[in-house]
Structure 1
Amino acid sequence: MNELQGAGVALITPFNMDGTVDYESLGNLIDYQIKEGMDYLVVLGTTGETATLTTEERKQIWEFTSAHVAGRLPLVAGIGGNNTQEIVKQVDQFDIRGYCAILSVSPYYNKPTQEGIFRHYKAISEVSKLPIILYNVPGRTGSNILPATAIRLTKACSNIIAIKEASGNFAQFAEIMRDKPDDFLLISGDDPATLPMMALGAVGVISVVGNAYPKKVATLVTACSKNDYATAREIHSALLKITDLCFIEGNPCGVKYILKKQEVIATDEVRLPLVPVSLQTQEAIEKEMAIID
């Protein structure tokens, strides 16, 4: 899966002031990513506020993005949740045209055992027409895909080809790299961890801050892949503060505010239970944007 090596971005979903999906802004965002050098796009990952979208909205966003991209970049569809039966149905019925893989977050809230996580993903793999990327983010899901479970899945399911890792556990990353098959990909799911993870052998990142700073994230990933860690460290350090501000009041609230200020999208509207960032955070973001720019 060469398409998944490099800098990917977990696209936000822009909204109009009335809460409907802003497709004009979504098109602008997609074009911005392509122009600034992103390698692939993830459509409706958790950063896309997918949990607050209706079934019809998700279908329309997937179709719009595929049509707008028109083959210019590889696309990954986010399809995950904690109701295995429902996710299996969604994956089975998904229109794969224009997409190269599915990103599926580990079941959240239920707190399944490792056996439950294994069976969940195995059920998805049995119906998926596309390769699958596991997504491990214990801070959001309340459970952890242990390295042994990820490796077990790669052996049991030939179409499980990568893991987006956002556990923050470097011992876990190292264990995956040690035990994984040669063609299984480790992908950073946490912007500040991208540089050190790539030093361990990760192939890139699925980024949040890349929505707003795609060229910088793409350059950092390229530098790491070429062992140019001096360049990578400079970009890594420059993005640390703005990345922290993107998450301080919830994702994607911060990055949406940056994109609005950059005039890439029209509003920074989010759907409840999220709310736009506070005035204090807005001021901190604008101060850091001035430094970066």
Structure 2
Amino acid sequence: MVKIITPVITVLNENEKPDYEGNKKVIDHLVSGGVDGILVLGSAGEFPNLTIQERLDFFQFYADYTAGRVELLAGTGCVSYQDTLTLSNAVYDMGYTAPMVIGPYYFGLDQEKVFLYYDRLAKEVKGDLYLYNFPPRSGHSIAPETIGRLVEANSNIVGLKDSVTEPVHTNQVFQVVAGHKFTAYSGMDDQFLLNLSHQGGGVIGALSNVVPELWSDLVRSANSGNFDRTMALAALIERLALLYEMDSNCSLMMKKLMVHRGVKISDRAVFPFNQMDEAVYQKAVALLDSVLEKYQALQ
């Protein structure tokens, strides 16, 4: 059974801190749209500007407000190992399925250092652990062979979000983890069909912030074996994935399009990623509206 998990945006106030009332509206929008889970403070969540305490508070807020309505994963990766460990161990008691950890960014890591980092973390956390591979953001990729070593050495490393533009990487991961309790999610919306073909976990894709009902429809269709509808809906998601090429800041784009769809939130993003050319925005709106029109025609 595949899932759609939303790497959720964070609604911010004028001080670039979480606007809790605005984030409640986002949660309700996603739950009513039928998503299976939410990744809190992933890369779309603009977490680097938050202190450790602010992140802890926000994780607790999400757990309290969702109240078991959807599965929760927590983005807990920090430059500091100790901060990562502190956040990761805290979320288990809040009811999260697991932390999802991107490797320490800025510093260069070869594969042996990547292994040492996650191997120690897996042995010091209190529960299951998901890897988060996003080379454009972390500066390094977790090689399939390294993932295989980590899974062999740590039974609590149970999954991966693989945000790579080369799907062959995810394909290779599926091969090295065969026979283990391990779920690989694609981190790119347009790699759903590949993930499905390998009996993966599905997708953790930011487009589900904007079109949760389309994404949940696609997942239901796939899980029920409705091949024709699965292909038609996947084609719409693949078309909508062109949004990622229009602007460097995914979070701002997603917020603005959510507002366009009627979610009454602030579209503020952190500086200097808080600006977008109006022509780019209008092009994005035109693409979204055309996809939604085609989706309505499938009803």
User: Given the two structures, how large is their TM-score scaled by the length of structure 1?
Assistant: 0.92
**Residue 266 (structure 1) aligns with:** 265
**Residue 27 (structure 2) aligns with:** 30
Cα 1:179–1:246 shift into 2, 3 Å: closer
**Residue 282 (structure 2) aligns with:** 283
How much does 1:247 deviate? 5.3
In structure 1, how many angstroms separate the alpha carbons of the residues matched to 2:11 and 2:176? 40
**Residue 221 (structure 2) aligns with:** 223
Amino acid at match of 1:207: G
How much does 1:135 deviate? 0.8
Q: Secondary structure at the match of 1:252?
A: helix
Cα 1:76–1:62 shift into 2, 3 Å: same
How much does 1:165 deviate? 0.8
How much does 1:38 deviate? 0.7
**Residue 199 (structure 2) aligns with:** 201
Q: Is the 8 A contact 2:25 2:265 kept in 1?
A: no
How much does 1:28 deviate? 1.0
Q: Secondary structure at the match of 2:99?
A: strand
Q: Is the 8 A contact 1:25 1:266 kept in 2?
A: yes
In structure 2, how many angstroms separate the alpha carbons of the residues matched to 1:163 and 1:20? 28
Q: Is the 8 A contact 2:76 2:84 kept in 1?
A: yes
Cα 1:17–1:86 shift into 2, 3 Å: closer
**Residue 86 (structure 1) aligns with:** 83
User: Given the two structures, how large is their TM-score scaled by the length of structure 2?
Assistant: 0.90
- Write the deviation string for residues 200-246 of structure 1: whole angstroms up to 9, x where unpaired: 33221111000111111122233334443432222222233433224
Decide which moves more: 123-132 or 225-234: 225-234
Q: Residue 20 of structure 1: which of 17, 21, 34 is its match?
A: 17
Q: Residue 105 of structure 1: which of 90, 102, 107 is its match?
A: 102
**Residue 297 (structure 2) aligns with:** none
Amino acid at match of 2:221: A
Cα 1:256–1:119 shift into 2, 3 Å: same
Q: Is the 8 A contact 1:38 1:214 kept in 2?
A: yes
Amino acid at match of 1:237: A
2:71 is the alignment partner of 1:53: no
**Residue 161 (structure 1) aligns with:** 158
Decide which moves more: 92-101 or 206-215: 92-101
Decide which moves more: 20-29 or 245-254: 245-254
Q: Secondary structure at the match of 2:9?
A: coil
Q: Is the 8 A contact 2:92 2:98 kept in 1?
A: no
Task: Give the CA RMSD over aligned residues.
Answer: 1.9
Q: Is the 8 A contact 1:104 1:133 kept in 2?
A: yes
Cα 1:175–1:227 shift into 2, 3 Å: farther
In structure 2, how many angstroms separate the alpha carbons of the residues matched to 1:138 and 1:69? 30
Amino acid at match of 2:134: V
In structure 2, how many angstroms separate the alpha carbons of the residues matched to 1:287 and 1:174? 34
Percent sequence identity is 25
**Residue 190 (structure 2) aligns with:** 192
**Residue 243 (structure 1) aligns with:** 241
Q: Is the 8 A contact 2:92 2:126 kept in 1?
A: no
Q: Is the 8 A contact 2:105 2:138 kept in 1?
A: yes
Residue ranges of structure 2 left out of the alignment (5+ in a row) = 293-299
In structure 1, how many angstroms separate the alpha carbons of the residues matched to 2:88 and 2:15? 30
Cα 1:255–1:47 shift into 2, 3 Å: same
